[in-house]
């Protein structure tokens, strides 16, 4: 019985994350909007740790600005990060966690080996 409850719980968790990220996928699945992989790379190179990447991404998404953007200068010029869509805090947090977990480099290493 516990196993079934746990499974349902996990399914709900997974589903809710998927539905949150689908709001972002509307743009981020298509060019010229940068992919999560590309965005995550820029943030990881600057902030190194998961916690700091999370803080920086959330910081940008809550109040998008040119100064907070971590993308390349060319992209900033073309895609205007200061005009990024604003979402509620819960959506932002869930979506950012989803992106960080999905792009987790260490997890990918484990899959290969």
Q: In this chain, which of 44, 57, 100, 103 binds ligand HEC, going by CB under 6 A?
A: 57
- Beta-carbon contacts of 63 under 8 Å, excluding residues fewer than 6 positions away, are none
The nearer residue to ligand HEC, 10 or 66, going by C-beta atoms, is 66
Cα separation, 91 vs 21, whole angstroms: 8
34 binds ligand HEC (CB under 6 A): yes
54 binds ligand HEC (CB under 6 A): no
Pair of tokens at residue 82:
């200061």
Q: How many Cα atoms within 13 Å fall on the side-chain side of residue 84?
A: 26
What single string gives the DSSP state of each residue in 15-73?
HHHHHHHHHHHHHHTSTTSPPHHHHHHHHHHHH-SHHHHHHHHHHHHHS--TTT--S-H
CB of 3 to ligand HEC, least distance (A): 32
Considering only residues 69 through 88, tell me which ones interact with ligand HEC, judged by CB under 6 A: 69-71, 75-76, 79, 81, 84-85, 87
44 binds ligand HEC (CB under 6 A): no
Binding site for ligand HEC (CB under 6 A): 23-24, 26-28, 33-34, 39, 57, 60-61, 69-71, 75-76, 79, 81, 84-85, 87, 91-92, 95-96
């Amino acid at each position: 019985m516990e196993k079934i409850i746990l499974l349902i719980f996990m399914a709900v968790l997974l589903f809710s994350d998927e539905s949150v990220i689908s709001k972002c996928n509307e743009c981020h699945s298509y060019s010229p909007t940068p992919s999560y992989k590309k965005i995550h790379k820029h943030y990881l190179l600057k902030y190194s740790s998961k916690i700091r990447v999370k803080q920086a991404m959330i910081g940008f998404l809550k109040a998008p600005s040119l100064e907070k953007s971590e993308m390349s200068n060319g992209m900033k010029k073309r895609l205007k990060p200061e005009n990024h869509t604003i979402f509620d805090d819960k959506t932002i947090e869930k979506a950012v966690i989803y992106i960080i977990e999905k792009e987790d480099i260490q997890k990918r290493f484990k899959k290969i080996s």
